[in-house]
Amino acid sequence: MTSFPAWVIRKEDGKNAAILEQVADSMLDDLDTTVRVLFSGINYKDALALHGRPGVVRRTPLIAGIDLVGEVVASTHSRWAAGDIVTLNGAGLGEDLNGGLAGLAHVKGDDLIAVPDTFTPTQAAAIGTAGFTAALSLLALERNGLEPECGPVLVTGAGGGVGSIAIALLSRAGYEVVAATGRADALGGRLIALGAAEVIDRASLESPGRPLGTQRWSGVIDSVGGTILANALASLNAGGVAATCGLAAGADLPTTVLPFILRGITLAGIDSVHTAPALRHDAWELLANDLDPQLVDAVTRIVDLADAQDAAAELLEGRGTGRTVVAIAPEH
């Protein structure tokens, strides 16, 4: 029997609590591929889970962590062999399957992606679900007809994980990016370095607006929801498209049908958890081709497994920036 450290979510006095403990491999799910985890990360969902908030972990006890990067130890899946360096985002990890904030994981080979040669394992972990979601969002915009010639693209939650990588991807693909952030003074320079052409204060989008505003953007990647997304939709150009992937500001969407029926706009939903293997592959191919590894490094910090919960608190307080990688086996 092997034992390893893991952040385990347990039910205590009717509430979830996260505990860093040594667990046995008998706790893991019965799945086809065993991975020695090198890195995980802190996404918004991980932050919720590590602080006992509801809505992410669907059974207890469960190991937290919706991402992992690691080395295959053994696999009965036809595509994987010992020594392969792989990554997995979502697919139930840390929600209804034991997750990546642990030394060892059992996962489904179908959902794994080989870490592209262009990225180190640390960079792949920094990309994580946030970067994967940014890539899925860009693919969705382009599936709905967006091209760089159409005009500026708004990225909300720009200082966060999804927003930061969305800016870098859009800019590299030739789009003029407008970054909306609540921390323009602190993060403006960083967002410009990522590729934003303009940084705007999110306060300008936070007050309830008219159902139809001045047409300002051809596309939107939104990770915040609420009034900000409603205002972004009201300012989409005719025929424009928005990708909605998050709810950092709220789960409500106080909008009307007017921009849809008078301007023919499209709202595309992004679900990174239940993404089919072929689309997972497309998103990681986009990241491998179009995401500059140095830009990833510039927005990454690395913390030890023991510090994951403290790092998560910053995300919950809206103070997180870029991406936080959790080193499970620091020697790698």
Ligand X SMILES: NC(=O)c1ccc[n+]([C@@H]2O[C@H](COP(=O)([O-])OP(=O)(O)OC[C@H]3O[C@@H](n4cnc5c(N)ncnc54)[C@H](OP(=O)(O)O)[C@@H]3O)[C@@H](O)[C@H]2O)c1
Smallest distance, ligand X to C-beta of residue 151, A: 22
Query: Nearest 5°: phi and psi at 243?
Result: -105, 125
Closest CA to 105 of 96, 116, 93: 93
Cβ proximity to ligand X: between 100 and 160 the closer is: 160
Q: φ, ψ for residue 75 (rounded to 5)?
A: -155, 140
**Is the CB of 201 or the CB of 290 nearer to ligand X?**
201
The span from the CA of 217 to the CA of 231, in Å, is: 11
Residue 162 near residue 221, CB atoms below 8 Å? yes
Inter-residue contact 47 to 309 (CB < 8 Å): no
Q: How far is the CB of 9 from ligand X (least distance, A)?
A: 17
Specify whether the CB–CB gap between 276 and 171 falls below 8 A: no
Taking residues 4 to 43 in sequence order and writing x for each that binds ligand X by CB under 6 A, - otherwise, the string is ---------------------------------------x
On whether the CB atoms of residues 294 and 8 are closer than 8 A, the answer is no
Under the criterion CB under 6 A, does residue 182 sit at the interface with ligand X?
yes
Task: Tell me: does residue 270 bind ligand X (CB under 6 A).
Answer: yes
Asked whether the beta carbons of 12 and 69 are under 8 A apart, the reply is: no
Residue with tokens 């301007």: 263
Please, are residues 176 and 197 in contact by the beta-carbon 8 Å criterion? yes
Residues 71-100 that bind ligand X (CB under 6 A): none
Q: Quick one: which segment of 32-40, 170-178, 297-305, 312-320 binds ligand X (CB under 6 A)?
A: 312-320
Q: How many residues bind ligand X (CB under 6 A)?
A: 32
Residue 158 as a binder of ligand X (CB under 6 A): the answer is yes
Give the nearest distance from C-beta 157 to ligand X in angstroms: 3
- CA angle 275/68/35 to nearest 5° reads 105
Nearest residue to ligand X on Cβ basis: 160
Span of 105-113, 115-123, 223-231, 260-268 interacting with ligand X by CB under 6 A: 223-231
CB of 202 to ligand X, least distance (A): 5
Residues making contact with ligand X (CB under 6 A):
43-45, 129-130, 133, 157-163, 181-183, 202, 223-224, 228, 245-249, 270-273, 315, 318, 320
